[in-house]
């Protein structure tokens, strides 16, 4: 299921290299070494965990498809287009819920916590993403969509979203009305008040226009999250918001609120916190998190990252072959 994405990794690396070169020539600091390495590390970590979950998810999908589905849809372009539209519709709501339900946001926040916006951010993925996403896309085997067809649809959506993570592609004219574009996605990654919780679409922007979550890029986006994570540690990037939720749940005395902590929106607070005044974000004073790095450590990190980038696609392709024997 992940082979197509794995085979695209060399293309991703080339695109990242060209974009990094453009950033260096422009002197715009859109690529910062520590942030880019953290993004790549998070992507590699997700690759490892997805590979471990892969066999279970494939076997579960096949079992439902073989024994529960009442019909078997043909593997043709009509099925692909129809189910791609359904997938994109479900993805919109999954994405929107991931911003408005705390336990889902605790997973998705990883992707938003970079304060830069470039192609490496597309690879900054939550390690627990598959553990929550499968529930939303469970209808596909019941509808009779074959595992191979679902793999193509999933790969298309994943590959499409990579190119959206760039500052160097402007508005695209009439396409802005139909498709999610880099301009739309820059708004989505911005935590400026005008941009919060907007533009959730994966491939089509029409869902945002229909359901009232669309915002046009009219002001310069400010990338990151309202409470910066301020670390390059990929493990902590996955866990910091969970810590905040469990601390809130522990401090409140009411069991109802302990449960609500995990299901309410991120801007909700239990009663014991409501006396605390929340200060609005002052974007004028916003500064990106940064730390010094020695050249020796930098070169060591580069060696480790590129060794793993070369190794993991081969590992995933081999695992694909084993799974389908």
* Torsion sign across C-alpha atoms 173, 177, 182, 184: positive
Closest CA to 51 of 2, 5, 90: 2
Give pLDDT tens digits for 308-318: 665 555 555 44
Contacts of 103 (CB under 8 A, 6+ apart): 132, 245, 262, 263
- For the chain, give the mean pLDDT: 86
**Interatomic CA distance for residues 55 and 228, integer angstroms:** 35
Between 164 and 50, name the one with better pLDDT: 164
Strand partners for 204: 179
Q: Each residue of 291-323: b (16+ CB within 10 Å) or e?
A: eeeeeeeeeebeeebeebbeebbeebeebbeeb
Hey, how many other C-beta atoms are within 10 angstroms of the C-beta on 33? Answer: 14
Give pLDDT tens digits for 78-95: 999 999 999 999 999 999
The answer to whether residue 323 scores a pLDDT higher than 90 is: no
**Interatomic CA distance for residues 37 and 312, integer angstroms:** 16
Average pLDDT value for residue range 268-273: 82
Q: Which pLDDT value is given to residue 213?
A: 97
CA distances, 186 to each of 79, 281, 317 (Å): 31, 18, 32
Where residue 75 falls (left for φ over 0; alpha for ψ -120 to 50; beta otherwise) is beta
pTM here is 0.88
**Interatomic CA distance for residues 51 and 286, integer angstroms:** 38
Give pLDDT tens digits for 231-245: 999 999 999 999 999
Tokens describing residue 282: 């002052």
The answer to whether residue 324 scores a pLDDT higher than 60 is: no
Q: Which of 15-29, 71-85, 92-106, 282-296 has the lowest mean pLDDT?
A: 282-296
């Amino acid at each position: 299921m992940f082979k197509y994405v794995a085979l695209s990794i060399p293309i991703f690396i080339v695109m990242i290299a060209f974009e990094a070169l453009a950033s260096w020539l422009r002197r715009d600091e859109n690529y910062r070494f520590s942030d880019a390495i953290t993004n790549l590390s998070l992507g590699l970590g997700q690759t490892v965990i997805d590979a471990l979950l892969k066999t279970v998810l494939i076997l579960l999908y096949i079992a439902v498809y073989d024994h529960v589905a009442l019909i078997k849809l043909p593997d043709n372009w009509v099925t692909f287009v129809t189910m791609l539209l359904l997938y994109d519709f479900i993805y919109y709501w999954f994405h929107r819920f991931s911003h408005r339900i705390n336990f889902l946001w605790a997973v998705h926040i990883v992707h938003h916590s970079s304060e830069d916006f470039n192609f490496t951010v597309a690879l900054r993925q939550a390690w627990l993403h598959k553990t929550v996403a499968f529930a939303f896309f469970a209808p596909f085997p019941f509808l009779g969509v074959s595992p191979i067809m679902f793999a193509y649809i999933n790969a298309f959506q994943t590959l499409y979203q990579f190119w959206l993570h760039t500052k160097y592609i402007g508005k695209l004219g009439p396409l802005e009305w139909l498709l999610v574009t880099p301009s739309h996605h820059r708004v989505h990654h911005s935590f400026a008040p005008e941009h919060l919780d907007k533009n959730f679409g994966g491939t089509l922007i029409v869902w945002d226009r229909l359901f009232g979550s669309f915002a046009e890029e009219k002001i310069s986006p400010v990338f990151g999250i309202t409470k910066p994570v301020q670390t390059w540690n990929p493990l902590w990037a996955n866990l910091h918001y969970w810590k905040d939720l469990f601390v809130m749940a522990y401090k409140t005395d009411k069991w109802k609120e302990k449960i609500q902590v995990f299901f309410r929106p991120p801007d909700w607070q239990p009663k014991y916190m409501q006396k605390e005044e929340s200060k609005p974000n002052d974007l004028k004073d916003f500064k990106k998190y940064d730390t010094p790095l020695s050249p020796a450590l930098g070169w060591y990190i580069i060696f480790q990252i590129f060794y793993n980038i070369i190794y993991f696609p081969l590992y995933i392709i081999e695992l694909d072959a084993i799974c389908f024997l």
